[in-house]
Structure 1
């Protein structure tokens, strides 16, 4: 399961950086787990160079490395098949028989205040606020706060990366990778404390056509009618992927969130007053993740509410 989680985080951040570079100044939101799963289904039917490109972009080399000696080339269980079995275990942990699309914050953000959101130009927005006990860390090197808002069942949480002081989000984005993400959000670096949280209400509904993004990452043959090898799906010649489209929706309000689709000198718990302030009145990054497996379900950037 750890190998799939690692692939998920690395693929998520690859996609985020591509979207971020191609949509400068815009809000970003997508489901990394949905994309990973959809492309892994294509991988089941891919062969040759097409399959190799997909495996590399999806970072499934981690799953190969975790296989026992002699099992990697086993005809009884292909690598793609094993990946799907891991997905099955993961989804069984995430999904509950009575689950729905609405995720309720464990400590709901009651009340609203009007506040200025600084985004190059200032706009007035409704900010939710509450005083509660949350996990919080401060990354000194980047002047960044890391806040975790748990959902009711404690299986999922929202992680927010917020620059503070004179820092800006570009500095965080430049340093963001799978290693730093795990380091910044690890339980050893997050301390529970009383926090006054200010978070804007926001809704995001974004649709992406991902052909060019996936090509940039290295999946090229899949979109080429001549080069694509999907012979594991069908013997029909000329089978290829014509278009990859991803659409996701997010609504963050007082009622919760509705969504569809290491230690070191650089990290420390800041010496804060008895009550810490977390004021998200400027652009930030956020992630909704499965706590037990550290799998990222959704990733986004709020540039403007």
Structure 2
């Protein structure tokens, strides 16, 4: 994972943990890539302590350290510009008009099942069903399954982290960081297997005001009329960031997955004869990843049908 994607994944997990702590039992969905792109736009016009706080929230140290040299302020600004440009290229590649964003599990038999999403409580949920060869990891500590569902063009994948046994989703969320995510989704754990997948249909349409979240991560001055430094945007005094609004939408159904947001080595695969069961009948985390860059495009928690 390169420095840009590592910084992006770390920021994604920071936001996920903050949202999860403030919305226990609720569904979560957001686009870290969209947020990163917007915040880099602000960084380009920020100066002084405001810029330093944004860089810290964005884990700019990952990108700066990759240069193997000390940056002057002007070079740091240039680095921010190059990084923002890289995000622009990445977004345009992901959003190509001819790209196919339909999940490969989208054309099979679907039915309904009673699924116990809350302890002692069952609700009627429409489930999708597919049997095929998928990359699946069976993690022992914490107990969970990690399933990768590739989109038709295989540029994007949906990765689902499903607790098993006595493990609760909060235990997984607590341990989730860049290093563990790489380990859980790495080739040593993700093995192509025959898997019977039961996944609920769900639609999430979520909007957040992220001022408090970004302040808790360390971006405080930019929201303060007297402390914000946006001198790179305008010489006017009193310029500050009033609100950060993020809206995202995902629809996972028999037609596929639709998501939107505004703001060289050969590996031998061992095919196992056992058909594994992957039944998402409890809250789970899911991420939509751009595979070439390893950037997380969308991230969420499905907790309540």
- In 2, distance between residues paired with 1:209 and 1:20? 15
Which of 115, 118, 122 is residue 117 of structure 1 equivalent to? 115
Instruction: Structure 1: state its 5+ residue gaps.
Output: 262-268
Q: Name the residue aligned to 2:172.
A: 172
Q: Name the residue aligned to 1:291.
A: 291
Q: Name the residue aligned to 2:19.
A: 19
Q: Name the residue aligned to 1:73.
A: 72
SS in 2 for 1:239: coil
**Residue 222 and residue 75 in structure 1: after superposition, are their counterparts in 2 closer, same or farther (change >3 A)?**
closer
Retained in 2: the 8 A contact 1:144–1:162? yes
Cα deviations by residue, 1:29-85 (Å, 9 ceiling, x for unpaired): 000100011011000000000000000001011111112536x32847622112123
Using the TM superposition, give the Cα deviation of residue 133 of structure 1 relative to its aligned residue in structure 2, in angstroms: 0.9
**Over aligned residues, Cα RMSD in angstroms?**
1.9
**Residue 75 and residue 172 in structure 1: after superposition, are their counterparts in 2 closer, same or farther (change >3 A)?**
closer
Q: Which moved more, 1:224-233 or 1:59-68?
A: 59-68
TM-score for both structures, normalised by structure 2: 0.91
Q: Counterparts in 2 of 1:38-187, with a 5 A limit?
A: 38-69=38-69, 72-73=71-72, 75=74, 78-99=78-99, 103-108=101-106, 110-120=108-118, 121-187=121-187
Instruction: Structure 2: state its 5+ residue gaps.
Output: 262-268
Retained in 1: the 8 A contact 2:159–2:287? yes
- Say how many residue pairs are matched: 294
**Residue 272 and residue 163 in structure 1: after superposition, are their counterparts in 2 closer, same or farther (change >3 A)?**
farther
SS in 2 for 1:103: coil
TM-score for both structures, normalised by structure 1: 0.91
Using the TM superposition, give the Cα deviation of residue 124 of structure 1 relative to its aligned residue in structure 2, in angstroms: 1.2
- In 2, distance between residues paired with 1:58 and 1:42? 12
Retained in 2: the 8 A contact 1:199–1:279? yes
Q: Counterparts in 2 of 1:177-216, with a 5 A limit?
A: 177-216=177-216
- In 1, distance between residues paired with 2:177 and 2:20? 14
Cα deviations by residue, 1:262-296 (Å, 9 ceiling, x for unpaired): xxxxxxx9x98721100001110000000111100
SS in 2 for 1:96: coil
